[in-house]
């Protein structure tokens, strides 16, 4: 159950109060309250601050002692469920600002999350399957994820626009005072959109994933860049079509260096769909 109330304190001030109740057969009831305060000194500028609590139960496969997948790491690993997993809980704090006018927009958000029992995939010291790596789901007792998100947008002309975002992340295991593995400190996206006609929009997106920490005895995974292309077409006011190609250059990192990039890449992939509005 989720409840939220948006309270207009004045023309410039708004208070958002919310709460969620979860019930899990194994873990019982959990309450997740949150509160945000918004201040709009002008029509274009919004300042916000908030805090909240979160709850995330392990999935059925993560909890199941019978679950076993031989497709992990592109077929090089085996992962099993763990019935001893505990749910994640977190305390989050956020401070942000956003400015938008007719031509351009900017935004910045600082965040800080204290997480208990973070669910991670952990390599096991030995493996029952020769030539493979055994993995298991486990809890990190205490973790901290904090960082900064920057966003921006610019309308170049009625047909052309660009959007970009950047995230800096500091993720640490507070129990061991070490970095959490497999998380990039730097991530960025930039999207160039072209709208030649009213119903047609095309987008080209560049995605950058920075280097990832592995362990104290292993070198970091190098960063890499992916390219994606999309097209949207509004057939009518109620129906639109979508298509795209992700990983346009068919970048396959695990094929280049399987010892560094442990997970198999999806390679170039295509999709198509439609959206109906009523």
Examine the pLDDT at 71 and tell me if it is beyond 80: no
Q: pLDDT by residue (tens digit) across 91-120? A: 999 999 999 999 999 999 999 999 999 998
Q: How far apart are CA 196 and CA 203, in angstroms?
A: 11
Q: pLDDT by residue (tens digit) across 187-245? A: 999 999 999 999 999 999 999 999 988 887 888 888 999 999 999 999 999 999 999 99
Beta strands in 57-103 (DSSP E): 68-72, 77-80, 88-100
Q: How far apart are CA 247 and CA 270, in angstroms?
A: 9
Residue 185 structure tokens? 């400190």
* β-bridge mates for residue 219, sequence order: none
Domain ranges of the chain: 181-278
**Res 267: pLDDT:** 84
- Per-residue pLDDT averaged across 257-261, rounded? 59
- Per-residue pLDDT averaged across 239-268, rounded? 78
Confidence of residue 264 (pLDDT cuts 50, 70, 90): low
- Per the listing, tokens 């309308």 go with 155
Examine the pLDDT at 65 and tell me if it is beyond 90: no
Residue 246 structure tokens? 């992700």
Examine the pLDDT at 271 and tell me if it is beyond 80: yes
Pick the most confident of 116-125, 247-256, 258-267. 116-125
**Res 68: pLDDT:** 86
Cβ atoms 248, 228 nearer than 8 A: yes
Q: How far apart are CA 177 and CA 175, in angstroms?
A: 6
- Per-residue pLDDT averaged across 109-137, rounded? 88
Task: Report the mean per-residue pLDDT for the chain.
Answer: 91
Taking the alpha carbons at both ends of the chain, their separation in whole angstroms is 26
| Other Cβ atoms closer than 10 A to 87 | 19
**Res 127: pLDDT:** 83
Cβ atoms 18, 34 nearer than 8 A: yes
Question: What size, in residues, is the chain?
Answer: 278
Cβ atoms 136, 171 nearer than 8 A: no
Top pLDDT among 108 and 61 is at 108
């Amino acid at each position: 159950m989720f409840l939220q109330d948006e309270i207009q304190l004045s023309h410039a001030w708004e208070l958002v109060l919310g709460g969620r109740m979860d019930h899990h057969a194994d873990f019982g009831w959990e309450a997740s309250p949150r509160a945000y305060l918004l201040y709009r000194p002008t029509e274009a500028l919004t300042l916000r601050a908030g805090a909240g609590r979160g709850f995330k139960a392990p999935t059925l496969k993560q909890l199941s002692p019978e679950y076993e997948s031989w497709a992990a790491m592109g077929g090089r690993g085996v992962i099993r469920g763990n019935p001893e997993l505990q749910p994640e809980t977190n305390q989050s704090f956020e401070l942000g600002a956003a400015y938008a006018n007719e031509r351009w927009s900017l935004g910045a958000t600082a965040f800080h999350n204290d997480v208990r029992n973070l669910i991670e995939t952990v390599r096991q010291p030995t493996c029952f399957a020769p030539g493979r790596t055994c993995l298991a789901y486990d809890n990190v007792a205490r973790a901290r994820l904090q960082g900064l998100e920057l966003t921006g947008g610019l309308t170049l002309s009625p047909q052309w626009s660009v959007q970009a975002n950047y995230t800096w992340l500091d993720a640490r295991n507070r129990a061991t005072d070490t970095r959490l593995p497999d998380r990039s400190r730097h991530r960025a996206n930039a999207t160039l959109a072209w709208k030649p006609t009213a119903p047609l929009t095309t987008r080209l997106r560049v995605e950058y994933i920075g280097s990832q920490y592995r362990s104290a005895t292993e070198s970091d995974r190098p960063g890499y860049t992916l390219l994606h292309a999309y097209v949207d077409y509004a057939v009518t006011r109620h129906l639109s079509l979508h298509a795209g190609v992700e990983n346009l250059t068919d970048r396959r990192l695990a094929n280049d260096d399987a010892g560094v990039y442990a997970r198999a890449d999806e390679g170039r992939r295509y999709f198509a769909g439609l959206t109906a509005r009523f």
